[in-house]
Structure 1
Amino acid sequence: MTKLNCTVKNCYYNKESMCCRDGIKVGGTDATVTDATYCGDFREAGGNFSSKCDCGPEGSVDVRCDAVRCTFNDNCKCHASQITIDGNGATHQSQTECGSFECTC
């Protein structure tokens, strides 16, 4: 499992800059740059931008990954010890990105 930091403060699942889901999916099948990736599980929080998620922040989560050109992708699973999802202020998953993406190209 990967330690996941999250700077997307207005995500429903963000608690204390960590994800409170037990897993996420990073999208961006054809990505060769960071901003071509995204968090497929992003969900915008309500008006006060505080998490509505009742679970506590997870230290590590399962990260499924479609970014096949990423150094850390092994059979569509992230094997980085730590990643960061960026995109504070996002209103749609396309405005988020995997800040730890490293292209093998």
Structure 2
Amino acid sequence: MTNLNCTAMNCVHNQFGMCKAGYILIESQESQTTSQTYCVNYRESTDENEAKAIENTNYISGLSEAFYSMDEVRMNPEINCHAQNCSYNLYGSCHARNVSIILDSNEAFKAKCETFIK
């Protein structure tokens, strides 16, 4: 299983640096660098987006959270990837051992895949 770290702390799916989404999609068909990728599921945390995010929630990991310490809980979603030039992309699925999503401070509302390697 891929470990996902997310520093987009204002994302509706972010919970203490972990992603509580059931799945995410990394997009950008012709990416050559990290800055050309983006997490399609990134949504700024607002009341409206919180309500919509319920549809894409990893309930099993969320339930585990109630019984285990945060160090033991792994809330890692399935990672689908359309960044065809990334060496970790295998038939549209991410096969990196660790993935890091960052919020690009230069581009409002864009979360990038920091793990992208051509």
Length-normalised TM-score, structure 1 = 0.81
Matched, 1:76 2:92: yes
More helix per residue: 2
User: 1:23 Cα shift?
Assistant: 1.0
Distance 1:83 1:62 in 2: 11
Match of 1:5?
A: 5
- Structure 2: state its 5+ residue gaps: 63-72
Q: Spell out the pairing of 1:1-105 with structure 2 (5 A cutoff).
A: 1-46=1-46, 52=50, 56=62, 58-87=74-103, 91-92=108-109, 95-103=110-118
Q: What stretches of structure 1 move > 3 A for 4+ residues in a row? A: 51-55, 88-91
Structure 2 counterpart of 1:101, one-letter code: F
Larger radius of gyration: 2
- SS of the counterpart of 1:35? helix
Once the two structures are superposed, what CA deviation does each residue of 1:13-72 show, in whole Å capped at 9, x if it has no partner?
Answer: 00010100111000011100000000001111028xxx9467537432210000010010
Distance 2:115 2:4 in 1: 10
Question: How many residues were matched structurally?
Answer: 98
Identity, % of aligned pairs?
Answer: 30
CA RMSD of aligned residues (A): 2.3
- Structure 1: state its 5+ residue gaps: none
> Is the Cα contact below 8 Å between 1:66 and 1:76 reproduced in 2?
yes
> Is the Cα contact below 8 Å between 2:104 and 2:112 reproduced in 1?
no
